[in-house]
Structure formats: structure tokens, C-alpha cells
A = this chain, B = another copy of it.
Amino acid sequence: MAGQIRLVMIGDELLDGRSYESNSHWLIERLSIEGFIVAGTEIVSDEIDDIVAALRRAADGESLVIVGGGLGPTVDDRSREALGVLLGEALVEDSAAVEEIRGRFESLGRTMPETNLRQALRPPRAEMLANPIGTAPGVWQTDEEGAIALMPGVPAEMRRMFDEQLLPRLAGLDLERRPAQIRLRATRGGESALAERVEATLIAAGLASISRSYCVQRDGLDVILRARDATPSAGDELARAANGVEAALAPRVYARADGDLSALLLRRLADGGQTLVVAESCTAGLLGGRIVETPGSSRVFLGGIIAYGDELKRTLLGVSASTLDEQGAVSEATAREMAEGARVRLGADHALAITGIAGPAGGTAAKPVGSVWVAHAASITTRARGRILPGDRQQNRVWAVAMALDLLREGLGDGRLDL
């Protein structure tokens, strides 16, 4: 019977606050995208008994156990030893791995310390997994029931070895696969109303049996639809469901799959040879910082103004004193004037502005904490939108960035950006 995958991450430093365990998150995401199913994960200490017990639990009934960490050269690194105990086999020295490790030290002009010989140990029937960027090779142990992979804990090494060594080997295992799925990405606001619309659409189309889930992301709501099973008719049903849901949520759907809203907007602007600037108050640079996450963003993004205080809103962006006095810094008029001022003064085709009260203080009855206005100025029109966001200080600032990006998307003509 096909099994699933379990993860075991090893290290005292993952349990005492010294180090943030990130490998299991990365593996869960990658394995899910590839359609594999992760049945569970554990973090355990460096104690040999803890590791053996975790390996025993994880291997029970599953087809693959991926172990992260415990492959270093010191006596604290016990994953190889634990695998030997689990199998009841004495470890042997892999002569190719010894040469590999020795060569790596020699190429750096150093002599290999004897302790590094530990890293060449493996169970007798196992093979080594090459580590092109570190001294610790991995270990791959298979039998008729499944496989155990020992991987390094250093994230960069683990990720590269997963792609190069582990992923190709998974095809040879009897692993359960998730049915096909389609992910629709919708922009922020009214998530529960959106979800209700999805439900109503599927019921009306006689597709209520399609499995669906909802996932709030930094830019909005992902709707994930899954086929019943791997049959062609289930695939057809999934395609119909996705088309129906996309039509029902239009124009809020900006992509299928994993396209990033900011990166897709930059590509659209670059295709049209257009430029973008920002004017930020409460977000104080988060929108600019988000935009330049995408490599090559300098073709489109020129820069911006962080006008945190009112005076800089006047002097740098040309927001009028009367607007600030009469309507306040967090108002539709201020957002519009910020966007228009940035566009003209910085010389761009498009400008996005954000002004708001992120919290925790600064709210009033008329303008509570979470009040945010965003504006988009283009050559002919300026458009603005206001909302009261329900999160804490950091969350509201992230959501304000998503609001601004969505307003730009609407200004560019709405709809999907990944076509």
C-alpha cells in the first residue's frame, strides 16, 4: 500500500530558541506542490534515544522519512548512528565519501581533521547523497517497505540536495499522491463573502463534491480546488469548477498557481515600458521594499517618498495645507494628493500612495486604528480606496501594501495578470 512522508528535524538549537527551524516548512511546501502528502513532522533533541524513537515512529507504515540535521562532524551529530541503531547494523566507512571530504579540505589548503571521518559513515546497504556545497554528505537507505533520507540541517545545503538528489529518487518509491489541484488567487477584502460566493457557485453547478479550501495570503485569498481522484472525469470536473469559480470571483482573481501579485504587476508595467513610484506614510517604505523583492525591478521602479510626518507630505509631495488641516493626513484627499504629487514630482507613469493609522495608538472615533486610504495616480485619472483594517500594527501595514497593489491592478484593467 502506498505510504506518505514524515519529517524529523534534529537539533537542541531548534528547541531552545537559538535557531528557527525552517526546513520543515520549506519541505512541506515543496512536497505539496509536487503532489506528495506529508503525514506529520517532529522536532527532536540531539539525544540518540530521542532520534531513534522518532525514526521508529516516523518509519512505521510510511514510505519515506526525511531527516534533517545531525550530520555534522562532532559527537553531537548522531543521525547516522541513530539510523544504524534503528536498522540493527554497524556503520561502515564509505571510501568514496572519505576521498570526497578529504579533497574538499585540500582544495581549501587545509588538512581534514580526523573527526570529519564520521561524516563518511553509513549503514552497509545505504548509499551516500552528494552535498555539492558542504562537507556533510547525505545518506539514502531503502528496503522493500520504503526509504529513509538523512539530509544536512543547513538550509542552503538541504534545499540544493533535495532538488538534485532526493526529488529524482521519489519517483521510485510507492508514495501516495494528492489528486490534481488548482489554486486561484484573489485580491484582499471581504474574504468571507468571497468564500460564500465560491460555495454558492459550486452548488449551483452541481459540483459541491469538489474539495476546496481557503488560505489567507499576504495579498488576499487563495481558493484551492482539488479533484476527487486521479480519473479523467474527475479532472474534467476540476477544470469546470475552476472556470466557474474564476468567473464568479472575477475581477478579483489575479492569477492561478503561485504568481506573486507585485511581480506580475511589474511584468505588466515593464511590457508597456511604464514606470512606477510610491508615496508612503504609515507603511514607511514597506511598499517600496515589497516591489524591489523582484529582481530586475529597476526597469520599472524609480523610487519614492516616505512622508511619515505631515510636514514632509507638504514639502516633498505637495499635499496642500488646507487638505491636511480640514480632512487630516488619513483621508481620501490626502491619499490622492500624495499619489499625484509623487507621480508628477518624481516623473513616473504611475504612482501609488498609502496613508493610514496602523495602531496601536492614534485612532479617533471618526478614524479608528486600522483606517487606511490608498490611491493610484496615472496620467489621466487618480483613484482612491479606503478601508478599516482589523489587524495589529504590523498586519495592517502588510494589508495596506496589498490594498495599494490591488488598486494598481484595477487601474491596469483588472483581471488575471498571469496570462
Contacts and interface: CB of A to CB of B under 8 A. Distances in A.
Interface of A: 13-21, 24-25, 28-29, 31-33, 37-45, 50, 54, 57, 156, 178, 213-215, 222, 224, 278, 280, 282-289, 291-293, 295-298, 301-309, 311-312, 316, 346-347, 358-361, 392-394, 397
Contacts of A280: 285, 288
Given A17-B29, A18-B224, A285-B285, 14 more contacts: A17-B32, A18-B213, A24-B43, A40-B44, A42-B43, A156-B392, A278-B306, A283-B289, A288-B306, A295-B359, A301-B309, A302-B312, A303-B309, A305-B306
Contact of A291 (B21, B24, B284): B284
A86 B298 CA distance: 58
Nearest to A30: B17
Contacts of A306: 278, 285, 288, 303-306
A298 B308 contact: yes
Contact of A40 (B45, B295, B347): B45
Nearest to A311: B302
Given A41-B43, A303-B306, A293 B394 contact: yes
Contacts of A43: 24, 40-42
A221 to B, nearest CB: 12
A288 B302 contact: no
Contact of A316 (B214, B283, B346, B397): B346
A17 B282 CA distance: 31
B285 A215 contact: no
Contact of A296 (B42, B295, B361): B361
A398 to B, nearest CB: 10
A351 to B, nearest CB: 12
A248 B69 CA distance: 32
A99 to B, nearest CB: 26
A358 B57 CA distance: 43
Nearest to A287: B285
Of A293, A301, A305, A308, the most chain B CB neighbours within 10 A belong to A308
A155 to B, nearest CB: 10
A3 B394 CA distance: 36
A29 B15 CA distance: 8
